[in-house]
Every structure is written in structure tokens, then in C-alpha cells.
Amino acid sequence: MYYLASIVADLPVLVAQALLTAVLVYGMTNMRDGVLSARFVVFCAAILQLSFIGRALVTFIANVVPHEGAAGMVAIIANNFFWYYQGYMCPAPLIPRFLQWLNFVSYFKRLYEALAINEFAGRPLDCEPSHLCRWANGSELLVEYGWDQARSPWMLLAQSFVFLGLFHACALTCMLFLNFETGGGVEEAQRCRAHPSDDDGIVSVPMVAEKNEDAVVDRAAHLPILTVESLCYSIGNRTLLTDVSLFAQPGMLVALMGASGAGKTTLLDVLAGRKNTGAVTGRVRVNGSDRDRLDFRRACAFVEQFDALPSFCTVREVVECSAELRLPPDIDDRSRRAIVDDVLGTLGLLRWQDLMATDLGGALRKKVSIALELAAIRNGAGFLFCDEATTGLDAPAALDVVDSLVAVSRHTPVFCTIHQPSSQILDRFNWILLLRPGGAQAYFGPTALLDDFCRRAGYPGRDPDENLAEYALRTVCAEAPARNVHPNPVPAPDVVVPSAPAARRRRPGRVSSLTTFRVLLRRRFRCELRDTTYLSTRFLCLLVFSCMVGFMFLHLPYTYDGIVARIACCFAIVNNLAWAQQAKISYIVNERPCYYRELALGMYGETSYYLASALAETPFLMAQAVCLGVPAYLLAGLSLSSPATPLLYLATLWLSAEASCSTISLITALSPNAVVAFAILSAVYTMYAAFGFLLVYSAMPVFTLGFYYASFFRWALFANVSGEMLAIGDVSVDCNDSGLASGTCTDSILQTFGIVPDQQWMYIAGLVAVGIAYRALAIVALKAIKHIKR
């Protein structure tokens, strides 16, 4: 039922986009008889059927391939197989006999044949016979492509229902019998947590510090103390926090509690200096001095409610990366490793340090999130802020996380928002701050004194069996007290303002741009290399596709059809390599929470992050170009007259892959989610493919030339075709297959496409320029557009 419901739910969208496409395309391109004709109905039916079958094929692949990126790659390759063997890229009579079955099983074939018969059967063509227009009427064109004009378009459309039913049946079968929810790493981690060994206990901070006396910075020299007086926060005319006063020092684990919407997370964000909208009033001091927002944010550890960890990194690597990018640059490698060991030991993560962080269970993932934040402040004064640290965890796991916070609070003040904690968990918090709806402070003080405060304030008595947290939410956080009792029963401690030299000594330093780039480059390269499922699927699909394209254009002759097929072969390779990068969209969107978290913490800038990511994927793009380009090049019999020709061909493919990645990065940076990005990418790449190959230069309207020059498809295709034509040189092309006298028809073909072989290096320069332009625009988009606001 779920599968059928999803199909029905998609129908309105598929019908709407198919009909919109049909009306626009049919009307704007002046197709046969106009939109008020029976032929237009056939066109609409074919486009609609194409949408249905394409949706079924993608659903089938998504249910049979467990990895999102790999599924996208397989979908692209499978669809390209069907598309390239439909009979347009290479007419069916020219496809080698042993590959004719691919033409037969292509669902595009019947739909494309129906459209061609609908448009060309019996239609006179307004052109004089030449090398490039060899047909007096549409029927002759259909015969050349191997299509029988006597066949009914409706019969061909009816035959395509076989593919629709087949793909849906396969998708449903996979959904019923395949289950990719493997819990291996998670379940193992949870089992080990439930039965820890002797060395899995919480390591006390003094113990670790004694082992690394020469490495770990002495924390006692400058204990962090935060004092807040009359803090208010508002957005426009709406007040979210009212007159909040508190303090924190080492040894304090402060619970922030209140009813839903009372402002717990808002207070946490304001205290940590993470709000970039609204107005904040009141006084916030650190060690007696007014808070410097930038320095304070770099000295704060903030753990968000939902864990955002980098993919394919071990627990130790995640923590080390945070330490490398956020600790002052004057801390050497030995000291940094000691700090990481200290943090992992304090949180009991040493046993799990070599496991992938994203494969861990909920409690361990939360500890890793805490660890990577603590690693940035263990060199000196700092504060830890946790938003709903126990959300989504069962009782033992939640208690495990809170016990870790207790260990951390011995030397670092900890604030933690929490919602309806159990009695066991609440007992771990030695201080508590209660908020009423509207952000008004109701109580701040030791948890042990809350009962006495309620009695003095005139609240009803608490049943001995009632959870103190539930009682406080029911009474203190819900209504004003009967008598005016100050919500802060304990005054803030007297704080001695540190001397100027000491303040300067503790001022957080910034890591150099070179170090930041190096760390990001190493992490991103590891991610690419460790994603073995996607990596192997990607290269296997490219290799198989390259062989199939090479076989389709096997040993191209020096004839009219051979020259046209060479251009089609070059386009097929460039087009597929460009589309193969679309899986990058899913990766970028999935990494956004981690990226925005690290960006907000000042770990790096947009430019460093983007350039490191681009450079890390360069070796893999080069390998893709070789994997896709070499088999097809050799099988198709493209020129080997000079070693420079195939090498320049592969270099151009690599540059086109780089340009594709830059285009995808720009589109994704502009898009709020993956669905929008994929939709925009499909439209953009379809236009880019059209302007340069599917629509020849001589047929382009003047106002569309912008797409022609912006299309990296066109620059890469023209560069590779130019190299092939220059390598062929003065070889005479036999034009007898066109029905005309023998001669050299190469120039006429190239002129139609607008290709000038002598300008090969200009085409390569244009490809480089387009790629650089898209990368620059992507960086600007990353800086200007943030899809997560605070």
C-alpha cells in the first residue's frame, strides 16, 4: 500500500510537469500542425509516458542500491544506456549486430520512434539535397534511422507500458525483500557500552593531566567564570528573554529548564553568542571583564541538539580536526595530541577512537559531539553549552551522557537545556535555572535548594514521590509566585579582573590559512577515499558505460556517417562525465549541518572549505576521466597518430569534470535542499547539452547564444572534436554514404556545428575560464546565502 500510495501521490506532479513541457516545447518549436491538433495529443502522451517510466526506473534503482550517491550514479548510467541506444546518437542500422538488443530494450526507442513518426511521416522537408540535408521528405529520414512510418505511434506507446510495469514490479519486489538498515557498528557499540570493560570508565581530569604534565595546559591558573546581569533578548516587538541573571564557574553543571517555548534554547544561544539576529541587552562578563563576542565564541564549546559529524572520519580524527582548527597555533603537535587524549579519556571514548563517528549509537555520537567541542577549549578558560543533550536517548544512554557532563563540569562550567529529566538525571545537575513562558526567569540556584525556594515562595507542597523536575514545570515554570521571592537565592561570586597581560595571554589565537587548508584537504580526501561503496560503483559504472559507448561506435570509418558519429561519441563521453558528478549534490546537502556548525564556530572560512574540497576531489576526477575516456577512445578507433592527441583528449575530459563540479557546487549553494538542486541541475544541463550538440550552431536563435557560450559541454566537445579533426588531417572522407559524389565533407559538418579545429586551444581556454567563473560564483554564493539562520 505504501508503494501504491507513493505512485498516486506523484501523479499530479508528473502530469503537470509533462503537460507544461509539452505545451512549451511543441508551441515554441513550431512542431507539426500546432498545439490544437491530434499530433499534439500524441506528443503529450509520449512525454507523459516518458515521465512515468523514468520515475519507475529511478524508484527501482533506489530500492536495489543501498548508497544514495551510488544509486544516483547507477540511475544516470542506466538512463544513459537507454538514451544513447534509442537510435538517435547512432542510428539503429549502424549499431553493431551484437548490441542491437540494447536498442530493442531501450524504453526511449519506442517513445522516440513514436514522436519521430508523428512529426516526420510524409512531411516534405524544405531543404536542398546536400551533404547535410539528404532527405527530400520526412519519410526518407525515417528510413535512414530504421523506423517504419507505417507503424502507429499509439501502438508504440502501448508497447512502452511493458517497461512501466516491469520497472514497477522490480521496484516493489526489491522493497519487499531487500532491507538495507544494517546496524552492525551501532549495535556493537551499544553492546560494548552496556558491558564496559575495566578500562572504559570515566577518566578523571587530574589523572590525565598528571600523565601529560608537560603537554596539557594548567587550568587552575585561570578558571573561567561567567556572570550575567539583567539579560534581555528581543526580535522586533517580540520579547523572548526578560531580566535573566546568572553566573557559572568550574564545578557547576547548570540545567536550563522550562515549558516548551519558554526560551531555553534561545537563552543558550544568547549566552554562547550565537544569535545573529535580534537585540540583546544587559551585561555579560567573563572573569570580571565585559565579554568580547568574537573571542568568547572561540572559547565556547557548543553542542547542538542534533549531532552533526563529518562523514567517514573516526572518532579520534573528528576530535583532532577540531583541535587543529580551533586551538591556538602556539600549541605544538605533542600538546595537541595530549589534549585530544585527555578529552577522549574524560568522556570514556578511548575504546571507540578508531570507529567511524557516524556509525556509533546515540549516546556515543553525543559524546563525540561533546569531545570535538571540548578539544577546542581545554587549553584554558572555556564554557560548554549543550542543547537537549539527552533528546532521543533511552534512560541508560541519557544517564551515561549526563555522567560525562558531570566529569567535564569539574573544570569547565556546563550549561545544558533539558526537558523533563528523570530524578536520576536531575540529581546530577547541581544547579538549575527555570524559565517561564515568555523567557522570564523563575529561579536560579542550587538544585538542592529548589524545594526550600518553592516553600518560601508560596507554591503548593510537593509530593515526596513526585519528580522534582515535573513539579517545577507544573508550578514554578507555569505561574508567578504568591510572594515576591528573588529568583537568585545565591549571589554571584566576587571576581577579580585579570591583568591585561594575562588577558592577552588567554586571548584565543587563530590558526593560519595554510594550516586550515591543509587540515580540510586531508579530511576531505579521506572522506572521498573511504566512501568505498560510492567509489567502486562510480568507477565500475563509468568503465562499463565507456565500453558500451566504444562498442556502439566501434572502429569508426572515415565516411560521412563516421565523422558525425565521432562528434556524437565525443559528446556522449563529455555528457556522461558531467552527469556523473550529480551525486555531489547529496553529499553537499548532507554535510550542511556539519559545515554550518563548523563555520559558525569560526573553524574556517567559506573560501578555505570550498578550495580544499575542490582540490581533494581532483585526483578522483582525473581517474574518472581516464576510466571513462580510454576504453571508448580505443574502441571507437579515434586517432592515435600522436601521443599528444589522446593525452589532450583526457585532459579536456578532466577539465570538463572540474567544470561540472563547479557548476553543481554553484547550483547547490543556491538551493535550499537537494530536491531543488536536482531540478535546477536537470534544467541547466539539458540546456547546456542542447546548445552545442543537440541544437547545432546554425539553428540557434540569437537570443540563446548566452547558453552557447556558458555551456562547458560545448567548450569540451569542441576541443575534443577539434583535436580529432586535426589528427585526421588531410584524410579524404568518403561521402558516398550520403548518396552524393565522393569528396571531403568534413568542413561542411564542422561548419554546421560551428567548430573550427584550429581554435582547439581557445576552446580549452574557454573551458578553463567557465570552470573558474563557476567556482568563483560558488564561493560568493556560499558567503552570501546561508540556508540555516539563527
Mean pLDDT by 10 residues, the chain (790 residues): 86 91 88 90 94 92 84 83 84 84 90 93 74 75 86 94 94 86 46 43 36 40 78 88 90 90 88 82 85 75 86 92 86 89 90 90 89 78 85 86 90 88 88 89 89 84 84 80 59 53 49 90 93 88 92 86 88 92 90 88 90 95 96 92 92 97 96 92 90 79 85 94 86 60 68 89 96 97 83
Question: In this predicted structure, what is the pLDDT of residue 88?
Answer: 83
Entry pTM? 0.81
Superfamily of segment(s) 209-305+383-506: P-loop containing nucleotide triphosphate hydrolases (3.40.50.300)
Residue-level pLDDT at 707: 87
Residue 390: per-residue pLDDT: 85
The DSSP string of 151-209 is S-HHHHHHHTHHHHHHHHHHHHHHHHH------HHHHHHHHHHHS--GGGSPPPHHHHH
3-state secondary structure of 511: coil
Q: Is 114 helix (H, G, I), strand (E, B) or coil?
A: helix
Show the cell assigned to 528: 572521498
Question: What pairs with residue 157 in β-bridges?
Answer: none
DSSP state of 458: T
CA distances (Å), origin 623, targets 662, 717, 760: 17, 19, 23
The pLDDT of residue 217: 39
How distant, in Å, are the alpha carbons of 279, 285, 441, 476 from that of 226?
Answer: 20, 6, 17, 25
Q: What pLDDT, on the 0 to 100 scale, is given for residue 491?
A: 62
* Whole-Å CA distances, 285 to 52, 138, 621: 62, 83, 51
Q: What single letter denotes the amino acid at residue 411?
A: H
Report the pLDDT value the prediction gives residue 128, as an integer from 0 to 100.
61
What is the pLDDT at residue 190?
Answer: 46
Q: Characterise 278 by phi-psi region: left (phi > 0), alpha (psi -120 to 50), beta (else).
A: left
Query: What residue spans define the domains of the chain?
Result: 2-177, 209-305+383-506, 513-523+530-784
